[in-house]
Amino acid sequence: MVNVFQKKVLMLALYAGEIMMRNGAEVYRVEDTMTRICKSCKIDSVEVFATPTGIFISMDKGGDEDDTQTYIKRIAGINTDLRKISDVNHFSRQFTTTDLSVDKGMEILKDIDEKKGYPLALRVIGAIMVSAAFCVIMGGRAIDCCIAIVSGALCYLFSRLLKKADINSFVTGFCSCALASFIALFASLSIKGANYDPIIISAIMLFVPGVALTNSIRDFLSGDMLSGVARLMEAILTAISLAAGAGVVIKLFDILGGAI
């Protein structure tokens, strides 16, 4: 029978894996972190299986007649916060190399989980910088970069508003890119010399699922085929929603005979 201490360790490992998975970590990293936490507490008979939507962990004392303790944690919603992933990685190294107690470890994980993200103003500044940079890369001129800065800021703020309303990521991407296309096309009609192509592309790049695509490839390379396929499909569907949002608005302007 699994004792109270082992159960606490299991819950600690499960919580660490949950934080990492909810913030965009790779499956192999989640499984490795959870396994290391358990084994550092002399729990060698532990098995971890993680997917983007759930984590399974089981352990026992290793005897033939021992009862196995199994827990399942549903993962609802995945964001991207690499800072929290880094914090959990640092915690796992600290936990496995020092005499940090399980209770203290749980407090540290709660602090990491409850840590607020970067301020909204800083995120908007980041969106502005990304939009301006990609506008230059796509051949935009000074006037295009100015419009891209406004478009990137407005589209990012709009996407945050939709997320607060619990709108799923696919609809959020569709609507945000539709807004970006509308701003770019309207600006090209109103401002002489403005080119809508680099403006639209620069705003769309804010929502491209680069982390999901990268993680899917890393999961494939590490042998986690189920997670790799799931994240690849997520990236593909998100990209389709972005393209559809921009394409619908461009087509409507074309039908109305305004922009193209």
* pLDDT at position 258: 58
Q: Nearest-CA neighbor of 180 among 141, 139, 209, 148?
A: 148
* Residue that finishes a domain, picked among 70, 88, 114: 114
- The answer on 146 and 105 residing in a single domain is no
Residue 51 CB coordination number (10 Å): 17
Is residue 260 very low, low, confident or very high in pLDDT (cuts 50, 70, 90)? very low
Residues 11 and 71 occupy one common structural domain = yes
Question: Is the same domain home to 21 and 101?
Answer: yes
Within a domain: residue 20?
Answer: yes
The mean pLDDT of 193-212, rounded to a whole number, is 87
Is 165 in the same domain as 110? Answer: no
Residues 246 and 129 in one domain: yes
250 within domain boundaries = yes
Give the per-residue pLDDT at 1. Answer: 54
Q: Among 58-67, 167-176, 218-227, 242-251, which is the least confidently predicted range?
A: 58-67
Q: What is the pLDDT of residue 19?
A: 93
Q: Identify the band that residue 26 occupies on the pLDDT scale cut at 50, 70 and 90.
A: confident
Q: Are 124 and 49 within one domain?
A: no
Q: Are residues 98 and 149 in the same domain?
A: no
Helix, strand, coil distribution of the chain in percent, nearest 5: 70, 5, 25
The CA distance from 63 to 220, in Å, is: 34
Single residue among 64, 82, 114 that ends a domain in this structure: 114
pLDDT tens readout for residues 71-120? 888 887 777 888 899 999 999 999 988 888 888 999 999 999 988 878 88
Same structural domain for residues 75 and 134? no
Using DSSP bridges, classify how beta strands 54-59 and 46-51 pair: parallel, antiparallel or unpaired.
antiparallel
Q: Does the predicted TM-score (pTM) go above 0.85?
A: no
Q: Is residue 202 domain-resident?
A: yes
Please identify which residue in the block is written with the tokens 């796992």: 92
If asked whether residues 161 and 207 sit together in one domain, one would say yes
For residue 24, give the nearest of 73, 95, 86 by alpha carbon: 86
Q: How far apart are CA 134 and CA 87, in angstroms?
A: 30
Question: Cα–Cα distance between 179 and 84 in angstroms, integer?
Answer: 31
Residue 139, domain extent? 120-255
Residue 139 located in a structural domain = yes
Looking at the structure, do residues 80 and 185 belong to the same domain, yes or no?
no
Residue 117: what pLDDT?
79
Alpha-carbon gap, residue 186 to 62, rounded angstroms: 67
What residues contact residue 205 under an 8 Å CB cut-off, 6+ apart? 130, 131, 134
Separation of alpha carbons 125 and 130, rounded Å: 9
Residue 61: pLDDT band with limits 50, 70, 90: low
Do the domain assignments include residue 260?
A: no
The reported pLDDT for the residue numbered 140 is 84
Residue 185 shares a structural domain with residue 64: no
| pLDDT, mean of residues 155-169 | 89
In a domain, residue 51? The reply is yes
The number of distinct structural domains making up the chain is 2
Same domain flag for 179 and 72: no
